[in-house]
Amino acid sequence: MDYKDRWTEFEVQSLAFSILRKNLYPRYLVRGEYKFLAARTDIAIFKANPVGQAPTLLCVIEIKKSDNGKSTKQGERYTQELGVPCVYVRGVSEAYNILSLVQPHL
């Protein structure tokens, strides 16, 4: 078996998730592979509310392993169904830059 130098989508998602979780908690809740009635998002960010109040969904994130694709169809569907912005992360360099990508939506 050959070792491939390219990152998998799981690895890119894990990187983005760990950066978000480390830097946003406890003010925001970061959930991976979060399932809503109509969608399963790669990452969902919620505003943590006081005890007794449900967290507020702020945005969802769709991860792609490379920066080659430019389709936004899935994100548009998430935005329409969930009523929040969908941020695309395409590749490792954007995963490392995840905080600046989500900042406008927090």
Average pLDDT over residues 67-89: 88
Contact 68, 48 (CB under 8 A): no
CA-CA distance, 29 to 106, in Å (whole number)?
11
Q: Which of the four pLDDT bands, split at 50, 70 and 90, describes residue 64?
A: very high
pLDDT in tens, 4-60: 778 999 999 999 999 999 999 999 999 999 998 878 999 999 999 999 999 999 999
Q: Which of the four pLDDT bands, split at 50, 70 and 90, describes residue 73?
A: confident
Handedness of CA 68, 105, 40, 83 (dihedral sign): negative
The end-to-end CA distance of the chain, in Å, is 43
pLDDT of 1 higher than 70: no
- Look at residue 99 and give its three-state secondary structure: helix
CA-CA distance, 51 to 31, in Å (whole number)?
18
